[in-house]
A and B are shown apart, each in its own frame.
Chain A
Amino acid sequence: MSTPQIYIQADDLVEEHKPWWVTLWDLCKRQPLGAGGALVVIGMVLMAIFAEYISPYDPEVNAFEHMLEAPNADFWFGTDQFGRDILTRLIYGARTALFVGFTCAFVGAFGGLVLGVASAYFGGKFDLIVQRIMDVFMAFPLIILALAVVATLGTGVENVIIAITIPFIPQCARVVRSSALSIREIPYVDAARACGFSDARIILRHMTPNVMAPFLIMLSTFVGQAILLEASLSYLGLGVQEPTAAWGLMLQGGAEEYAESAPWVAIFPGVAISLAVFGFNLFGDALRDLLDPKLRNR
């Protein structure tokens, strides 16, 4: 059994000398679905960054002479009930979706990471109390907890971000804790403690880097989930408020009333949400396969 292992190691060393684009190409071939997802994600990011340059109109200015126009040469995806170009609002909506998605995912996953590792490292009473508090938060359906927080704080982008982030923290903390528990048993943590390092240093420098795989996986799923939740809240009228361009809000603003006479108002924003979440999920799945060989094929 030992010979093939040595061979694999040698092979890995050779691979390191390949230029980066060859490695990238190999990755894409191994994970075609993931590469597709990454493409969607990159496209969205570019759309969000360069929204001013690529969108044909202003997303927030009403033009009542162009109300509910069907898709044509001037308005590729048609216009809404205020005469605003749907394509423009979709492009700017990517900015809102990504801003909410990334902020919630990063803060939520990072909070969960610190709490999860600390909970596993300290153990005992601290762990017990943290876990009970996490239990409380996990007992709510995501949307109910988010709605309750929005009801308390009010609507608007910042509050929506808080409402979505809060349920994410315990989810990530639980997953990270279970992998951190096994790391705590590895002697190098004892060694670090014997060297007299502070708890904060051991948690941040020694344990955290070793739970990066579950952390990154949670992070990538959170982005998709956050985009979906933001759309749901905005659709209910409890999220992002007019006139900001947001996909969920575009569906709320009369999409049902005009569904029959102006179906483009209802169709395109939904396609945008689905495509974005689809891209992030595909990307996340591929990331999981690459980072965690044990979970491969799941």
Chain B
Amino acid sequence: MYKYIVKRLLLMIPTLFGAALLVFLLLRAIPGDVCEIRLAGTGLYADPAEIELCRENLGLNKPLILGLDTQFTDFVGGYLTFDLGDSMWTGRPITYEIGLRFKLSMQMAIMATVVAVAFAIPLGIISAVKQDTWIDYAVRTFSIAGIAIPSFWLGIMIILGLLIFTQAWFGEPWMPPIEYVSPFDDLGANLSQLIWPAVATGYRYSAVATRMTRSAMLEVLREDYVRTARAKGLMEKVIINQHALKNALLPVVTIIAIEFAFLIGGLVVTEQVFNLNGLGKLFVESVGAQDFALTQQLVMLVVLVFVFTNLAVDIFYAWLDPRIRYS
């Protein structure tokens, strides 16, 4: 087991290094830079010397990759010294900018996961147990629709619904608040803001998990041990909950974990719709301002979360199934 984990950790290094290099080069290929946008973006005359000074201060004049003191070594070296640098746009430390939004994104990811799991597992089981009945068809249609409906549009529809509903019932339109409140300060205000985007993303996410639960259950229900359990006269409820579900949940846990990793940084569009100040919005803003330093750290954060989630899932698998460790 120990050897397996070490092997997997070593395999991660080239992936992370490659991702860092890819992001780094992609961003540098963009014409223009943050200094031009900051100084000349307003449309006023900008002194070329001033732009040059700005570049000098931000280290944008250093060579890209080749050499010992380059933009790339600044970027990667930051991980070794635990200093992620400052945002090129606001000048504040990147850890501060990310920390400010991380709570919201994390809470959103957790809430969307809870919504998704609460729908996906019961629906998936019912759909598999009642295969090819109208219930199965209804669940499958519901879940394919979840994949097809863009979550940002669902978000717009939820806001529209809220506006119309509150207008009709309370006489004045109500919108979810925009300012983030910590759930420990005011749970009600916090939930009234975040429950809507959580439903919008959770639905899509539950659709994926429902399909996975259904297919895993169908496979397990055909296993010999389920037949044995039936033959010895166990109640159907016990067979499904005790014998089938436990074995079917493995792939479902995987897909939930991987989607969770994506949710932390990948809610770019939903955050835009609900005007939430999360990591996804920060990402779009930093891309717009050509704040390379911030963009690359955000992307690496998402990649790191994703790679480590994958690792955790694989270790969990290997722990459960010794065959994986030795292959």
Contact = CB atoms under 8 A, between A and B. Distances in A.
Nearest to B151: A232
A132 B269 contact: no
A281 B302 contact: no
Contact of B18 (A136, A248, A266): A136
Given A136-B15, A144-B266, A151 B148 contact: no
Contacts of A270: 149-150, 153-154, 156-157
Contacts of B156: 251, 255-256, 259, 266, 270
Given A236-B272, A259-B163, A278-B144, A136 B22 contact: yes
A266 B160 contact: yes
Given A139-B306, A151-B27, A228 B157 contact: no
Interface in B274-323: 283-284, 287, 295, 299, 302-303, 306-307
Interface string B131-169: 100000100110011011110111011011001100000
A156 interface: no
A137 B266 CA distance: 15
A274 B157 CA distance: 13
Given A231-B150, A232-B150, A136 B19 contact: yes
Nearest to B269: A232
A282 B262 CA distance: 25
A135 B147 CA distance: 25
A270 B149 CA distance: 8
Contact of A278 (B145, B157, B214, B262): B145
B226 interface: no
Contacts of A224: 147-148
B5 interface: no
Nearest to B22: A136
Given A139-B19, A236-B268, A278-B144, A151 B160 contact: no
B215 A236 contact: no
B257 to A, nearest CB: 14
B18 A135 contact: yes
- The interface centre, meaning the residue of A132, A137, A139, A231 with most chain B CB atoms within 10 A of its CB, is A139
Given A33-B137, A235-B269, A140 B302 contact: yes
Interface in A131-164: 132-133, 135-137, 139-141, 143-144, 147-149, 151-152
Contacts of B307: 139
B269 A152 contact: no
Given A148-B23, A297-B215, A282 B144 contact: yes
Given A136-B15, A144-B268, A270-B153, A263 B137 contact: no
Given A132-B18, A232-B152, A277-B147, A144 B265 contact: yes
Contact of B265 (A33, A141, A152, A273): A141
Q: Enumerate the 7 nearest inter-chain pairs by beta-carbon distance, A residue then B residue, closest first.
A: A270-B153, A136-B18, A277-B148, A278-B148, A298-B215, A141-B266, A274-B149
Given A140-B302, A267-B157, 8 more contacts: A136-B19, A152-B27, A248-B150, A260-B163, A269-B153, A275-B148, A276-B148, A297-B131
Interface of A: 33, 132-133, 135-137, 139-141, 143-144, 147-149, 151-152, 224, 228, 231-232, 235-236, 248, 251, 255-256, 259-260, 263, 266-267, 269-270, 273-278, 281-282, 285, 297-298
13 contacts: A132-B15, A139-B307, A141-B306, A151-B287, A152-B29, A251-B152, A251-B156, A256-B156, A260-B163, A267-B157, A270-B154, A281-B144, A282-B144
Interface of B: 14-16, 18-19, 22-23, 26-27, 29-30, 131, 137, 140-141, 144-145, 147-150, 152-154, 156-157, 159-160, 163-164, 173, 211, 214-215, 218, 262, 265-266, 268-269, 272-273, 283-284, 287, 295, 299, 302-303, 306-307
